[in-house]
Chain A
Amino acid sequence: MSSNNLKLTLKIWRQESISSKGRFEEFKVTVSPDASILEMLDEINDNLERQGKKPVAFESDCREGICGTCGLVINGHPHGKIPKIATCQLHMRNFKDGETIYIEPFRAKSFPVLKDLIVDRSALDEVLYAGGYISVNTGGVPDANEILIPKDVAARAMDAAECIGCGACVAACKNASAMLFVGAKVSQYSFLPQGQPERYKRVQSMVAKMDEMGFGSCTNTYACEAECPKGISVTNIARMNNDFIFAKIGSTEVEI
C-alpha cells in the first residue's frame, strides 16, 4: 500500500433479514486509492470474518460494469455520483481523505432488502418474462444483407440494449418507477424487424406486469437517466408510451 492511502469513515447499512429492522454500522478504514469500492468491502469482510463476525452481504459478479449485479446507493446516488459507471467501477481515488461515505442498498417498494446491501430484484425478471424476448422461430440463417437495417437504427437499438438491468433507475426514482428499464427493453426490439410481430403485444404485457409488480409511474424528473450506469436515454420511455398508445388504438388488447 502506498502512502497516499485514504482514511475514511463508512456508514454501511446492516440488516439481518427481510423482516428485521436495519441500521447503519460505522467502520473506520484505510484504503488504497486504486482499490474499487467493492474491493474495499472485500477487505472489510475479510477482517470481519477473521474476527468471527458476519461479513457485509453485497452482490457483485463481473466487476466490469456489464452484468448489472452490483448496485449500491453511495452517498445517496445509485452506483455513486460519477456518471455512467456501475458500483464496481467506482474507485476510491474519487473520494477525499477523511470523508464519510454512506453505503446503502437500493430502496424501492418492489426491491425488498434481503440482507445488508442485497435486494431482491426479481420483479425486473418478472417484467422480462412478460414479453422481453422474441418468441418467433428465427429459422435457418438468412443470406447476408437480406434484412436491411440502417446503421442509425441499429445504433439506437444497441443503445437501448445497453441496459444491464441493474435497477438503478428504479432506485433513483422518487416514484420507484421502472419505466426506463421497461422502455429500454421494449425499444431494443421495436426498432428491429425481428421485434415487429410481437411489438404491440409485448408492450402491453410488459407494462401490465410492471404495474402489477408495484413499480410507480413516471413523472418526468429524469433522475433515472442521470443515474443510469449505461446512460440509457429517457427517449426510450417516450417510445414505450408511443407503442403503448398505438397498441391500445390499433391492436387487440391482450389478456394478461
Chain B
Amino acid sequence: MLDLVVIDGLAKGIVCRNLVTGEIEKYSAQAVLLCTGGYSNVYFLSTNAMNCNTTAIWRAHKKGAAFANACYTQIHPTCLPLHGESQSKLTLMSESLRNDGRIWVPKKKGDTRKANDIPEEERDYYLEKKYPSFGNLSPRDISSRSAKEVCDEGRGAEGGDAVYLDFSDAIKRLGQHLIEERYGNLFDVYKTITGENPYNVPMKIYPAPHYTMGGLWVDYNLMSTIPGLFILGEANFSDHGANRLGASALMQGLADGYFVAPYTVGNYLAGDKPEKANIDHSEFNNTQKEVEDNIKKLLSINGKKTVDEIHKKLGRIMWNKVGMARNEKKLKEGIIEIKELREEFKKDVKVVGQNEDINQTLERAGRVADYLELGELMAVDALHRNESCGGHFREEYQFEDGEAKRDDANYSYVAAWEYESPGKWNLNKEPLQFENVKLATRSYK
C-alpha cells in the first residue's frame, strides 16, 4: 500500500503498487483496516522480517492520522550479536532461554579470552548481582540496557558487543537431556547461525530492536483519528503502554482481529452506512497521481548512494542517538543528522530499474524515504518526553541506582502527533486515567 484515500474526512480506500507489474492500483472500500505491523526496521538491523515497513501507517499519518508515542521502542535482550557489516537482520533467540541460562561478562575490561578460559571468579553475573530477586529474568528494558552498559565499559564477550548466556550450570543441574528437550530447537538454530555449539560454549547474545509500542493513535474501537480507518496489531499504539510484556504482541493480534474489530467495524458500518466511493472520484485520481509522481521522482534522482547504504546510515543514527539510552544532546544531534540524511537521500540516492517491473530497489527506496521522516518523529517524541518510562530511557532521568525515573505529574499522557509538514508536528495530549490501579514505581531489586 502506498497511500490512503480520504474523501470528505473519511477513509475510503487505498492506492497500492502491484509488486509484479508495477501498476498503481486503486481500491475503494467502506472502511480501511491497516494490520501492517511495526517500524523496528527503522534501525536497519532488527529482529523484524525484511519486508516489515512503516509505509502504510506513515502515509496514513501524513493523510491526517495521529501518530502516538513514537519513541516507545522495545530493544529485546536475547538476540544474536552482529557478525559484520553485511548482516541483514538480527535473530531473536527465545526469551525462555533466560529461565535456565545465566548471563555474565568478564570482570576485566578488554578481556579477549574465550569464555571457557575465563575462571568462575573472574566472571561478573551482573544481572544476578544488580537484581537479586529477578536476576537473569529481569525485564527486557533493564536486561538490554545492562548488557549495553557492560559492553560500553569494554567488558563484552571477547571484547566485542555481546554478553554470555551460559547453560553450563543448568546442564550440570538438570542434565543435557532435559536442556535438549526444553531448548533443543533453539540450540540448533544458534548452532546453524553461529557455527558454535551452545552445549559446550556459552551463547553470545546482544540486544536488538524488536517491537515498537508506538504507532497510529486509536480509540477503544481501534479507529484512528480518520473516521473509517482502523488500525490493528503492532501498527497501532494501544495495549502495551511504554513497554510490551512477553507474548502479548500475539495476544494483541488475536484480540484486535478476533474480538475487537469484527464488532467495532460493524458498528461503524451500521452507524453511518458509509458508501463505497467511485474509483474515478477525483481524490482517488489525485492520490494515484501523487503516488506515481513520487515513484518517478525516486527513479529520476540517479545519485551515487544505494538505498541500503542510506538505510544503514539511518540505522546507525537511530541506534546511537535514539536507541536504548537517550539524552537531550544525542537526540538533538540525531534530529539534525536525520534531516541531513533525508536531504542526502533526496539528492543522491540511486534507484535502478523502472517502475513497470519487479523492482525491489524501488520498493525499499519508498520505505526508506518514510523511515527518514518517521525517525525524526521518534527523536522529537523522545526529546519532548522528559522522563524515563518503559522502553524510553532518558539518561538525565534516572535514580542513583540507574532505575528509570518517571514524571507522572507532567508526562502521564499519550503523545499523539499530528503531521503538519516535513519535520513539523503538532502535539496532542491524551491524559492517562487510572481507575483501578495506582501508579507506582516498579522495583526489581
Contacts and interface: CB of A to CB of B under 8 A. Distances in A.
Contacts of B83: 32, 34-35
Interface bin, chain A: 35 or more
Interface string B150-193: 00000000000000000000000000000000000000010011
Interface in B50-82: 50-51
B193 A55 contact: no
B88 A38 contact: yes
A60 B361 CA distance: 14
Contact of A93 (B87, B195, B307, B357): B195
Interface residues of B, number: 31
B350 interface: yes
B49 A63 contact: yes
Contacts of B88: 36, 38-39, 42, 63
B306 A49 contact: yes
A63 B50 contact: yes
A62 interface: yes
A233 to B, nearest CB: 17
Contacts of B246: none
Nearest to B304: A50
Contact of A118 (B85, B91, B358): B358
B8 interface: no
Interface string A48-90: 1110111101001111110100000000000000000100010
A115 B359 CA distance: 10
A97 interface: no
B352 interface: yes
B195 A54 contact: no
A46 B357 CA distance: 19
Interface string A25-37: 0000001111110
Given A49-B361, A53-B352, A54-B353, A62 B84 contact: no
Nearest to B360: A57
B309 interface: yes
B279 interface: no
A113 to B, nearest CB: 11
18 contacts: A34-B84, A34-B194, A34-B195, A35-B83, A38-B88, A39-B87, A40-B86, A43-B86, A46-B306, A49-B350, A50-B350, A52-B350, A55-B360, A61-B51, A63-B49, A91-B192, A91-B193, A115-B358
Given A49-B361, A67-B49, 16 more contacts: A1-B84, A34-B195, A35-B86, A36-B193, A40-B86, A42-B308, A46-B308, A50-B304, A52-B350, A55-B360, A57-B358, A63-B89, A64-B189, A91-B195, A114-B358, A118-B358
Those 3 A-B pairs whose CB atoms lie nearest each other, nearest first: A34-B83, A61-B49, A62-B49
